[in-house]
């Protein structure tokens, strides 16, 4: 696959995320209304307004919906770096505060070794930049290198 330019990559990522063409139905619902501000190889910055379908009984953004968004955006940013589809193999998330309205989501690839890539996703309240959650995720590429030996199992 040819390495797309940053402009092409930004357009592809933006269209797929904002049109709901990412993951399953629940992932699409968790990303509904997201707006990509900046995207380039290994980095995505988004604005997101928490809507009622993602709120708990107190009106706070449901922690499961936060985790789904973090995993989905993490997978997408990993794709921009590896240009191959990825599978989550390790997922850790820490919650620091609740959110009810507008948040900022920043995801970046922090490392890559062979078929593995490591991503960090930070979610912050837009108005005061207070940390809502941090996700740390390891992904494995689904495409193997030609030099990789097949499993003996």
Q: Which fold has domain 6-141?
A: Thiol Ester Dehydrase; Chain A (3.10.129)
The CA-atom distances, in angstroms, between 143 and each of 22, 41, 79, 99, 115 are 19, 18, 11, 37, 8
117 in Cβ contact with 107 (< 8 Å)? no
pLDDT band (50, 70, 90) for residue 24: low
Output 8 or 95, whichever has higher pLDDT: 95
In the chain, how long is the greatest CA-to-CA distance? 54
pTM of the model: 0.81
- Chain mean pLDDT for the chain: 84
Q: For residue range 129-139, list pLDDT tens digits in order.
A: 999 999 999 99
Q: For residue range 49-70, list pLDDT tens digits in order.
A: 999 999 999 999 999 999 999 9
- What backbone phi and psi angles, to 5 degrees, belong to 25? -60, -40
Q: For residue range 81-132, list pLDDT tens digits in order.
A: 887 888 899 999 999 999 998 999 999 999 999 899 999 999 999 999 999 9
pLDDT band (50, 70, 90) for residue 22: low
Please give the average per-residue pLDDT across 27-32, as a whole number: 78
- Residue 86: name the closest of 46, 29, 136, 143 by CA: 143
Beta pairing, strands 43-49 & 116-125: unpaired
């Amino acid at each position: 696959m040819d390495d797309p330019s940053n402009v092409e990559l930004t357009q592809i990522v933006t269209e797929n995320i904002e049109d709901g063409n990412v993951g399953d139905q629940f992932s699409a619902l968790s990303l509904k209304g997201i707006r990509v501000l900046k995207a380039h190889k290994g980095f995505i910055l988004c604005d997101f307004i928490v809507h009622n379908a993602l709120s708990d009984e107190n009106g706070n953004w449901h922690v499961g919906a936060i985790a789904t968004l973090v995993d989905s955006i993490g997978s997408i940013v990993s794709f921009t770096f590896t240009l191959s589809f990825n599978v989550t193999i390790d997922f850790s998330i820490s919650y620091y505060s609740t959110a009810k309205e507008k948040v900022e989501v920043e995801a970046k690839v922090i490392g890559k070794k062979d078929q593995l890539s490591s991503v960090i996703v930070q979610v912050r309240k837009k108005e005061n930049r207070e940390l809502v959650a941090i996700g740390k995720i390891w992904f494995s590429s689904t495409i193997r290198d030609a030099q990789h030996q097949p499993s003996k199992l």
